[in-house]
């Protein structure tokens, strides 16, 4: 077992200074991922570790007229009563993660920044156009969470920056469809989630998103626009056309089991078709 220097920064600024100073620094909050990695009797740690649990700014929840702003060190358990987890399907998804004891320590930041794959909440957050804020001593970067995946749909995380906040835009959520596919998700496995969301605005579909995330992340912007430009309720012809587009995209990527996913996409679109507003 190698020895590490453990830091407990009390402010974001102090943490950013550590990131700038230490070339091999591990950021932890709930440390659930950190614990999973120690799977042998020979423990292995980075030379420096920073625990951000004691930074108040990173554990705060803020609500404005436009969004919910979640500190990166907020636990998953603390999210149960806020949007979008105040919706039954989203709350069930949140509660499917580990046990209640795990959710009391696991954080939203650690969930998003898991480097090996996309975890359970990622598809939902991406479908809601969630933004993530990263900071360093020299700059602050805010981007759509989708940009944490690369062109091949693999995790593409920010380096040498601190994830500080997760911002979920508030919107009318008339359609929410969530289905799990595959088996294991954390720490590894072939599982993932398909999530679709939409708002209905004056008899037309608005803000339609369909995201699949597990080992990779997937969206088809053309198919989404086909749905979003349609009158409501969407027709069977529109569902067939969009499903065909999704099938072509999934097969082109070559990473997805279309026999499993296409029926689920069809179910999501039919669920949208039956949405009552």
Q: Where does a domain end: 143, 169, 195?
A: 169
User: Is the same domain home to 42 and 135?
Assistant: no
User: Is the same domain home to 75 and 13?
Assistant: no
Mean pLDDT, range 75-97, rounded to an integer: 95
Q: Which CATH number is 230's domain given?
A: 3.30.390.50
Q: What angle do CA 29, 69, 138 make, to 5 degrees?
A: 70
Q: What domain count does the chain have? A: 3
User: Is the same domain home to 68 and 34?
Assistant: no
How does pLDDT run across 121-156, given as a tens digit for each residue?
Answer: 999 999 999 999 999 999 999 999 999 999 999 999
Q: Where does a domain end: 104, 138, 169?
A: 169
pLDDT of residue 1: 46
Question: What backbone phi and psi angles, to 5 degrees, belong to 265?
Answer: -65, -40
User: Is the same domain home to 78 and 45?
Assistant: no
User: Is the same domain home to 96 and 185?
Assistant: no
Distance of alpha carbon 143 from alpha carbon 130, whole angstroms: 9
Whole-number average pLDDT of the chain = 91
How does pLDDT run across 171-214, given as a tens digit for each residue?
Answer: 989 999 999 998 878 777 788 999 999 999 878 998 899 999 99
Question: Which is it for strands 205-213 and 217-218: parallel, antiparallel or unpaired?
Answer: antiparallel
41 pLDDT above the threshold of 80: no
Q: What pTM, to 2 d.p., does this model score?
A: 0.93
Residue 270's pLDDT band (cuts 50, 70, 90): very high
How does pLDDT run across 224-265, given as a tens digit for each residue?
Answer: 999 998 999 999 999 999 999 999 999 998 888 899 999 999
Q: Which CATH number is 102's domain given?
A: 3.30.465.10
How does pLDDT run across 47-60, given as a tens digit for each residue?
Answer: 888 999 899 999 99
42 pLDDT above the threshold of 70: no
Q: Where does a domain end: 169, 190, 218?
A: 169
Question: What backbone phi and psi angles, to 5 degrees, belong to 254?
Answer: 75, 10
User: Is the same domain home to 134 and 45?
Assistant: no
User: Is the same domain home to 82 and 131?
Assistant: yes
Mean pLDDT, range 3-22, rounded to an integer: 92
pLDDT of residue 96: 94
User: Is the same domain home to 141 and 62?
Assistant: yes
Q: Tell me which residue range forms the domain holding 86.
A: 57-169
Q: What percent of the chain has pLDDT over 90?
A: 77
User: Is the same domain home to 96 and 141?
Assistant: yes
User: Is the same domain home to 62 and 147?
Assistant: yes
Distance of alpha carbon 108 from alpha carbon 2, whole angstroms: 29
């Amino acid at each position: 077992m190698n020895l590490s220097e453990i830091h407990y920064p009390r402010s974001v600024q102090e943490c950013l200074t550590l990131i700038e100073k230490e070339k091999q620094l591990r950021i932890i909050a709930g440390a659930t991922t950190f614990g999973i990695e120690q799977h042998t009797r020979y423990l292995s740690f980075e030379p420096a570790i920073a625990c951000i649990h004691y930074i108040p700014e990173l554990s705060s929840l803020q609500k404005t007229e436009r969004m919910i702003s979640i500190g990166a060190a907020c636990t998953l358990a603390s999210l149960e009563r806020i949007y979008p987890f105040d919706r039954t399907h989203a709350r069930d998804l949140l509660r499917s993660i580990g046990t209640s004891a795990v959710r009391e320590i696991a954080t939203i930041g650690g969930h998003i920044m898991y480097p090996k794959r996309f975890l359970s909440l990622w598809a939902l957050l991406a479908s809601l156009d969630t933004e993530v804020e990263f900071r360093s001593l020299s700059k602050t970067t805010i981007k759509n969470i989708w940009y944490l995946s690369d062109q091949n749909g693999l995790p593409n995380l920010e380096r040498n920056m601190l994830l500080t906040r997760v911002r979920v835009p508030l919107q009318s959520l008339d359609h929410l469809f969530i289905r799990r596919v595959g088996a294991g998700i954390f720490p590894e496995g072939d599982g993932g989630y398909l999530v679709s969301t939409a708002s209905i605005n004056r008899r037309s579909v608005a803000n339609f998103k369909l995201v699949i995330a597990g080992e990779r992340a997937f969206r088809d912007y053309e198919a989404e626009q086909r749905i979003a430009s349609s009158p409501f309720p969407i027709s069977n012809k529109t569902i067939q056309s969009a499903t065909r587009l999704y099938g072509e995209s999934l097969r082109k990527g070559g990473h997805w089991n279309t026999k499993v996913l296409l029926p689920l996409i069809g179910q999501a679109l039919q669920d949208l078709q039956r949405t009552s507003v």
